[in-house]
Structure 1
Amino acid sequence: MKEDDIDHRTAWPVNIGRAAELSGISPKMLRHYETLGLLGDVVRTDSNYRQYSLADVHSLRFIRRARDMGFGLDAIAELVSLWHNRKRSSASVKRITQKHLGDLTQRIEALQAMQRTLGGLMNLCPGDGRPDCPILDDLAHPAEPLCAAAQTGTKLYKPATPAAPRRNTR
């Protein structure tokens, strides 16, 4: 949804369904973010229905974007607070972002190591009709040499040699 659609084509305040639609967040997550205090106090009608302002929807869009970037809820709470604080220092925002970027880098490296290991194990597996499988062996009994061999592509696993064909003795 375009920013203009939010500002000019909507009668404010809006109910939870419309706020969810405008922000791209489900009503359930919207209520969750509210209980976490990420939105501040949301106005309610006499019937206790939530009423969301334009500023609330902008905050929800900010939260959704931060979630899309992988920030955790604690970091998002800090970022929302800093976003609303016009006396903030950008150093605080940068510190939070640097920590998150470092965490992402570590996760990416761990995922790449898993990818190399699984790729190596797949190369070691003959994928035939025999029951021997180095992938299952490694999952059951992880051993450094096998994992290291899998990452480098070295074949430590020797498939069983097929049985010699039987001769017909009749």
Structure 2
Amino acid sequence: MNIGEAAAGSGVSAKMIRHYEAIGLIEATRRPNGYRSYGPQDVAVLRFIRHARDLAFPLEDIRRLLALWRDRSRASADVKQMALDHVAALESKAASLQAVADSLRHLAQHCNGDDRPDCPIIAELEGIRE
């Protein structure tokens, strides 16, 4: 199948398929005319990548997960540890984002939001504490 058919079958855009090929996550065979050709296993790999991306795994982790998926003698403990490490990273990032949201909420609560130029949000961005 061509790249458009692989995209439709996997839910991954043709642009992203090209990107995944460029970084070595997937290998397309080339027809004599130079066009990419994909088989059912390639579409399965693309679906795997898409689902991993939906779970916010970074590309390097996806590379490792693909290797584990392909290794039928893998230990599920390795996969579980990767998932738990990823959960910890996501929770840390969520906590950081929550702290930023709390800071912005606090600044917005202390801004009069009127016609005067004084604004604690701008002051904070300038590095000046009001």
TM-score, structure 2 normalization: 0.93
1:79-126 Cα distance to aligned partner (Å, 9 max, x none): 011111111111111121122111101110011001111111111001
CA 1:142 to 1:63, structure 2 compared with 1: closer, same or farther past 3 Å?
farther
Higher helix share: 2
Q: Which runs of 5+ in 1 are unaligned?
A: 1-13, 144-156, 158-170
C-alpha distance in structure 1 between counterparts of 2:52 and 2:69, whole Å: 12
Shift of 1:35: 2.2
Partner of 1:30: 17
1:1-170 to 2 correspondence within 5 Å? 14-39=1-26, 41-141=27-127
TM-score, structure 1 normalization: 0.72
CA 1:134 to 1:34, structure 2 compared with 1: closer, same or farther past 3 Å?
same
Shift of 1:142: 5.7
Partner of 1:147: none
For the residue of structure 2 that corresponds to 1:48, the secondary structure is coil
Q: Which amino acid in the other structure matches residue 12 of structure 2?
A: I
Q: Which amino acid in the other structure matches residue 64 of structure 1?
A: R
Shift of 1:27: 1.1
C-alpha distance in structure 2 between counterparts of 1:130 and 1:103, whole Å: 42
For the residue of structure 1 that corresponds to 2:57, the secondary structure is coil
CA 1:63 to 1:142, structure 2 compared with 1: closer, same or farther past 3 Å?
farther
Q: Which amino acid in the other structure matches residue 34 of structure 2?
A: N
Shift of 1:44: 1.9
1:47-86 Cα distance to aligned partner (Å, 9 max, x none): 1211111110011011011011111110000001111111
Q: Which runs of 5+ in 2 are unaligned?
A: none
1:107-159 Cα distance to aligned partner (Å, 9 max, x none): 1001100111111111100101111101111111165xxxxxxxxxxxxx6xx
Identity between Structure 1 and Structure 2 (%): 45
1:15-54 Cα distance to aligned partner (Å, 9 max, x none): 0111012111111210111122212x42221112111111
Q: Give the structure with higher Rg (CA).
A: 1
Partner of 1:162: none
Coordinate RMSD, CA, aligned: 1.3
For the residue of structure 2 that corresponds to 1:37, the secondary structure is coil
